[in-house]
């Protein structure tokens, strides 16, 4: 799935929230959206998954304008894992995940054995098999997140949009989510807070700041020390992770504003 976003702008109550955003997601690419709190990551994603309507601009999925697609047509192509879920109905985990098959069914068509094979496969993939019959509302935040992830995988989308997918997750499941999406072979667009997770798993990174794209390119191109210092206002050193080969950012406090002592290794240039 190719996605082309062109000149996207959205204001809320007269304040511009995202402005003139243009970029393309190539087929099967993983694109991470990073940026400080309030930089517009969720708003950009909500505009792409049609919860918000842009004031201006177009979004094409494989050359088709998404504003012309019905909800069902969109859901056949695009799955969304949102940051927060407000689901209070008493569904079991398996029922919840099975909802991911809905866009592929006709009204009143029953789920087939093949549908449930996908459902169970995805529940197992996210490590929730033992919870299949548990009520969704009784789960912890991280467990809910994994179930909703399984539901979006069950949808078998060509484009998966994730709004901070690793929110609530412990380190094992943070890595697991990223490993699973790396193996999906579909296009992925994901807001990510952790810059090192973004650099390890994304083909390209969009850096948002105050609603505009500051930089778009490979992790090496985007995540440069002076850029991280300017945009996130954190002292840092960028180096190579000798074990994975991807770049790694060491965070060194807030510079002159920091209450922490300057690490000796930094002062002596040992990390360079
Ligand atoms: N409905 C709204 N009314 C007014 N302002 C809004 C509304 N929705 C979002 N904003 C503002 O738009 C800006 C961008 O918000 P958004 O949630 O897209 O940022 P974000 O980059 O996802 O932030 P975070 O990293 O904190 O999740 C913020 O300043 C936010 O307060």
Mean pLDDT, rounded, for 133-142: 92
Q: In the beta sheet, which residues pair with residue 59?
A: 5
Of 34-48, 99-113, 115-129, 211-225, where does mean pLDDT reach its minimum? Answer: 99-113
Q: Which ligand 1 atom sits nearest the alpha carbon of residue 191?
A: 22
Fold classification of 3-254 (topology level): Rossmann fold (3.40.50)
Identify the pLDDT of residue 62: 94
pLDDT value at 241 more than 60: yes
pLDDT reading at 266 higher than 60:
no
pLDDT in tens, 155-198: 999 999 999 878 778 898 889 889 999 999 899 999 999 999 99
- Residue located nearest, by CA, to atom 1 of ligand 1: 12
Q: Please give the Cα distance from 166 to 83 (Å, whole number).
A: 9
pLDDT of residue 108: 80
Give 46 Cα–ligand 1 centroid separation in angstroms. 11
* Percent of the chain surpassing pLDDT 90: 78
Pick the atom of ligand 1 nearest to 36's CA.
25
**How far is it, in rounded angstroms, from Cα 90 to Cα 2?**
37
Q: CA–CA distance from 152 to each of 77, 199, 200, 237 (Å)?
A: 11, 23, 22, 36
User: Is the pLDDT assigned to residue 272 strictly greater than 50?
Assistant: no
| pLDDT tens sequence across 39-98 | 999 999 999 999 999 999 999 999 999 999 999 999 999 999 987 667 767 899 999 999
Which residues does ligand 1 sit against, CB inside 6 Å?
12-13, 17, 35, 37-43
What are the contacts of 114-120 at 24+ separation with CB within 8 A? 118/154, 118/156, 119/94, 119/150, 119/154, 120/94
d(CA 186, CA 182): 9
* Domain locations along the chain: 3-254
**38 C-alpha to center of ligand 1: Å?**
5
Nearest C-alpha to atom 27 of ligand 1 is from which residue? 37
Mean of the pLDDT values across residues 138-148? 91
Distance 68 CA to ligand 1 centre (A): 26
Sign of the dihedral through C-alpha 212, 218, 219, 224? negative
Distance CA 112, CA 176 (A): 29
- The verdict on pTM exceeding 0.80 is yes
- List, in order, residues 6 or more apart from 46 with CB less than 8 Å away: 52
Give φ, ψ of 17 to 5 degrees.
-105, -45
Res 265 pLDDT > 60? no
Place of tokens 């997770």: 197
Of residues 223 and 244, which shows the higher confidence score?
A: 223
How high does pLDDT run on average in the chain?
A: 91
128-150 residues labelled b (16+ CB within 10 A) or e (exposed): beebbeeebeebeeebbbbbbbb
The vertex-132 CA angle with 126 and 136, nearest 5°, equals 90
Distance 238 CA to ligand 1 centre (A): 28
Distance from Cα 58 to the centre of ligand 1, integer Å: 21
Averaged pLDDT, 4-9? 98
Range 97-105 average pLDDT:
93
Dihedrals φ, ψ of 48, to 5°? -70, -40
Q: Which atom of ligand 1 is nearest to the CA of 193?
A: 25
């Amino acid at each position: 799935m190719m996605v082309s976003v062109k000149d996207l702008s959205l204001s809320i109550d007269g304040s511009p929230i995202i402005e003139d955003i243009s970029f393309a997601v190539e087929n099967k690419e993983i694109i991470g959206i990073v940026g400080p709190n309030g930089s517009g990551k969720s708003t950009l994603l909500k505009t792409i998954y049609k919860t918000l309507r842009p004031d201006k601009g177009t979004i094409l999925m494989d050359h088709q304008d998404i504003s012309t697609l019905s909800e069902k047509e969109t859901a056949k192509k695009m799955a969304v894992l949102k940051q927060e879920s407000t689901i209070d109905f008493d569904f079991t985990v398996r029922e919840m995940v099975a909802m991911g098959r809905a866009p592929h069914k006709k009204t009143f068509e029953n789920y087939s054995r093949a549908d449930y094979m996908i459902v169970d496969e995805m529940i197992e993939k996210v490590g929730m098999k033992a919870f299949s019959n548990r009520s969704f509302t009784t789960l912890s935040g991280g467990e809910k997140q994994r179930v909703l992830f399984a539901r979006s995988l069950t949808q078998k989308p060509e484009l998966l949009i994730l709004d901070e997918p690793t929110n609530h997750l412990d380190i094992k499941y943070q890595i697991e989510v990223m490993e699973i999406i790396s193996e999906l072979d579909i296009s992925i667009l994901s807001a990510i807070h952790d810059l090192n997770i973004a650099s390890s798993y994304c083909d390209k990174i969009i850096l948002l700041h105050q609603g505009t794209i500051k930089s778009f390119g490979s992790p090496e191109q985007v995540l440069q020390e002076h850029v991280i210092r300017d945009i996130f206002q954190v002292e840092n050193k960028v180096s190579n992770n000798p074990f994975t080969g991807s770049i790694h950012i060491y965070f060194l406090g807030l510079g002159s504003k920091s209450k922490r002592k300057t690490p000796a290794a930094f002062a002596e240039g040992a990390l360079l």
